[in-house]
Structure 1
């Protein structure tokens, strides 16, 4: 049902109100923030943007189709409100011109503001398309991203030019006046400097996030991305997001969260810094130190504190932060589910099967995102905790919970679960499969030395001939995280040799090849051999589980090699 348009009072500063609404949301006032945005969302593009972003964030945290569909509808409604030909802008025009008898003109900063909001909505809509992990979603998301990029690129360049002119005027630098387009200078001086600063922060958020995300795309997909007209630069993205986080725009707190997400989630998961998950910690802690006083009890900030502790291998500290975040988000189920997931993973990393089972069972019951995945995790931890009858029943249930036949994660999960139903239930299979997930999710570098030693001891006992390739891939990953590179190399070599005997696990050889390459390239004496293996890992395999994930790590390694 459409929200009735509310007449905005003369002293209504929607950019201040929108910023306060976002801050309120970050400080756990989700309901109050939502009510504030909804009240004015039909009358103010900025308030509409705040409302649709809140709905988008809820959808992205939960991955639930119903909430994602609601987000799509709200984002499209925001775009419609920002479209220049839309009659709903008349209230804004009249407010600005104080209901003058002259034909109302929309100020240039409102036009720029609305263009940025439209681009932001395109970006969020593309992200929703991508998480479907289907070919049609990727195609649709790619074209939607193209729309966003075209607006961001043009608007960013335009605002940067205006800002440069205004800055030089403000600081009495007359030297470059003769080289400035008169129309551009006239426009720059017609916009109050504080508004121009805010607009710069606004466009920097989307421009920076876009550059950062596209910079992570592997080379194979990057060719397609470049063909449809955009590219990404990681450093430009980080610089723009930092500018946005220090601005007075409503998205400044969101830019802060985006930077924390990059440093504590993206960098370790995609091995941006190799097997050094703590490389992003100084930057993340500096962001925390600057902003924590404003969000001391924020469930989202507490969540990222947990991620920082996890990257430091302080699993006990991470659990405290995630539990604090869980308790602080009583009114926001989506954040609680995110925390439950992190707590479950921390328990897996400590081999605490019973506690992990508690949280994955809860996620299986309460989360509407990939029941298939959570049923598989529940089955594994249930079996490791000693309940083999229920474990077998859960494995049998996994194929029935598959929602999308083309979802790569669910295809992998169903294949593994079906194998467990046909194979005699043993502790070694359950252990190897749970450690396989820890490896594929890049969790070993976050584990404590004690936990890694325990994993080596338990994993080494696995004797079944059918899982020797997987066992050696896992042991290679553990020893690599322990710094025992020679031992890890031996296991990776064995993994590639025997992997063809395993149960259709085509991912073992390319992952082991990549791991060997990264170890060998660190040593000047074996760098040439490592580069040869690296090229083979990149181009010599296709059609295996989690291929895109490995290609993203390969892309990150290539970027790191160029820097050095």
Structure 2
């Protein structure tokens, strides 16, 4: 199938479409490959300037006829879904990807042998160019599908199943990469080829990066069916793609930003490269100064640096920059809730948690639990002023739990289990629930950037410790609560540089292992934290031993998958440090 030559009816020239056509939507009566790429770039510019509906309107007339319009249309919906985590958006994006795959399929080479791509690249007739791009667009749609699978459920088994389904995508990217790595004909330097090469870098880089995050036991299973992941190579490919001038450059940049500002914190050791994130974002801040996506990442970088005041201002600017995608507001509310929590400004944190409960459909169980947890940190007088019943909120959590792809969301399962204490005839109050959930999201790594906030958190934790110590009638949960408080105290002390005291707190938790009745996650997580403490002190052998102990000897505890991903990142970091030492 061939795309017919286009006659654009817009006033912008090709270069304008690629760079500056933010407000003019070109209308075409026919479409060729080059112009399809131009129009998709125009749509992307509209998205980055908060004109989301206009971008979709530009792409919609052609999205079932043109591979790039199909890819662009699905990409916008996928971007929306991954930024909002709302099931309705994820399902709509999934349906659109399936249709986009059908569109791309019509342009693919009529052969089952994908390896002939390299010969297509060397010969490059008009039809062959279309076939090349059809392969990369098809693979990209499959990659988007894999990303949504990961967003839906962080359970490793689900990820493996998704990985098997996208083996075709991975193979296409590998073959495309081979076709672009050898000696190239001068014609391969054309704009159309550069666009193709940008797509290869995005796909190969993303695959390698995603796979490298998985623990070795999972990766070994994937390697058996042909997958492999190299983090250094993946990051290098994405950086090259981000520095290029293709349609995919911004997606390479956004992938790196997401990795450095979210993945490395939540699923790693919190060592994202913020200097690189700043450098990636800077040109887009100049080009799209009011773009909500750009403002959001700017705020996130400030948060990770501990500059909470600047972050708050940026999130508020992001909220006011557009009203069309309300879900971006919800992302900002979530971040603002945490920023106020880091500073123990519980009244303000409650207001954002309440907004999320009322407006967002991502996870009612998490939002209600979070609101109840924040209220638990406030004085009785302040709680009364809100008109909320904390016990009733905790009781609601279990009924709000949802299942995605047949699986419960790990953080929801954690919240449900913790909230069951309030269902008893005489509820046993959680000790510092907002701080515990802060730890689950690795928030103490962020708090640790600010000595004043860390000291304030330590005071709150020591007050809880004192209450537990003086409890005249300790409940069955008392040993668990005491261990939680000691672990959180150790974290604060570590970030304040009081390492010996931190070590004593962690070892106290470990010595109480036999007394823990419910919160069994505390032991492997404490072993991991103690390993990080020894890593910080330069004792790699001891660090590795404690982390390996947690990895090997504990299972079936809350947030197990998340900890395994963090342990994998920590052990990789230890190996890299050992390899780099003289």
Q: TM-score, normalised by structure 2?
A: 0.83
Q: How does 1:4-403 map to 2 (within 5 A)?
A: 7-8=29-30, 13-84=35-106, 107-133=127-153, 137-161=158-182, 164-166=183-185, 169=186, 189=187, 191=188, 193-272=190-269, 277=271, 280-385=273-378, 386=380, 387=383, 390-403=389-402
1:473/1:424 Cα in 2 relative to 1: closer, same or farther (>3 Å)? farther
Whether contact under 8 Å (2:350, 2:375) holds in the other structure is yes
Q: Which residue of 2 aligns with 1:561?
A: 574
Which of 470, 474, 484 is equivalent to 1:470? 484
1:308/1:505 Cα in 2 relative to 1: closer, same or farther (>3 Å)? same
> Counterpart of 1:552 in 2: which secondary structure?
helix
> Counterpart of 2:408 in 1: which secondary structure?
coil
Which of 562, 574, 578 is equivalent to 1:549? 562
Give the Cα–Cα distance (whole angstroms) in 1 for the partners of residues 157 and 297 of structure 2: 33
Whether contact under 8 Å (2:81, 2:90) holds in the other structure is yes
Whether contact under 8 Å (2:274, 2:301) holds in the other structure is yes
Structure 2 stretches lacking a partner, 5+ long:
1-26, 110-124, 469-477, 578-582
Structure 1 residue 268, shift from structure 2 partner:
2.8
Q: How does 1:351-500 map to 2 (within 5 A)?
A: 351-385=344-378, 386=380, 387=383, 390-404=389-403, 406-422=408-424, 429-430=429-430, 432-447=432-447, 448-462=450-464, 463-464=467-468, 465-466=478-479, 467-500=481-514
- CA offset digits 1:246-275 (Å, max 9, x no partner): 3333222122111211222222333446xx
Structure 1 stretches lacking a partner, 5+ long:
88-104, 170-188
Whether contact under 8 Å (1:129, 1:140) holds in the other structure is no
Give the Cα–Cα distance (whole angstroms) in 2 for the partners of residues 230 and 494 of structure 1: 42
Q: Which residue of 1 aligns with 2:532?
A: 518
My pick for the range that moved more, 310-319 or 121-130, is: 121-130
Structure 1 residue 224, shift from structure 2 partner:
2.1
Whether contact under 8 Å (1:372, 1:402) holds in the other structure is yes
Give the Cα–Cα distance (whole angstroms) in 2 for the partners of residues 528 and 155 of structure 1: 42
Give the Cα–Cα distance (whole angstroms) in 2 for the partners of residues 206 and 531 of structure 1: 33
- CA offset digits 1:417-456 (Å, max 9, x no partner): 1113438668xx5552211111121111212211211111
1:57/1:414 Cα in 2 relative to 1: closer, same or farther (>3 Å)? same
- CA offset digits 1:28-60 (Å, max 9, x no partner): 111111111112212211011100111112222
Q: Which residue of 2 aligns with 1:91?
A: none
1:36/1:60 Cα in 2 relative to 1: closer, same or farther (>3 Å)? same
Give the Cα–Cα distance (whole angstroms) in 2 for the partners of residues 434 and 501 of structure 1: 24
Q: TM-score, normalised by structure 1?
A: 0.85
Give the Cα–Cα distance (whole angstroms) in 2 for the partners of residues 305 and 132 of structure 1: 26
> Counterpart of 1:249 in 2: which secondary structure?
coil
> Counterpart of 2:290 in 1: which secondary structure?
coil
1:243/1:294 Cα in 2 relative to 1: closer, same or farther (>3 Å)? same
Paired residues, number: 512
> Counterpart of 1:131 in 2: which secondary structure?
helix
Structure 1 residue 194, shift from structure 2 partner:
2.3
Give the Cα–Cα distance (whole angstroms) in 1 for the partners of residues 76 and 151 of structure 2: 18
Give the Cα–Cα distance (whole angstroms) in 1 for the partners of residues 29 and 65 of structure 2: 7
Which of 521, 529, 533 is equivalent to 1:507? 521
Whether contact under 8 Å (1:80, 1:86) holds in the other structure is no
Give the Cα–Cα distance (whole angstroms) in 2 for the partners of residues 481 and 301 of structure 1: 30
Give the Cα–Cα distance (whole angstroms) in 2 for the partners of residues 547 and 423 of structure 1: 31
Whether contact under 8 Å (2:353, 2:370) holds in the other structure is yes
Give the Cα–Cα distance (whole angstroms) in 1 for the partners of residues 427 and 374 of structure 2: 13
Whether contact under 8 Å (2:374, 2:433) holds in the other structure is no
Whether contact under 8 Å (1:15, 1:249) holds in the other structure is no
Give the Cα–Cα distance (whole angstroms) in 1 for the partners of residues 174 and 152 of structure 2: 27
Whether contact under 8 Å (2:305, 2:446) holds in the other structure is yes
- CA offset digits 1:189-240 (Å, max 9, x no partner): 4x56222222111111121111111111122322222222211111211111
Whether contact under 8 Å (1:218, 1:552) holds in the other structure is yes
My pick for the range that moved more, 438-447 or 60-69, is: 60-69
Give the Cα–Cα distance (whole angstroms) in 2 for the partners of residues 10 and 432 of structure 1: 61
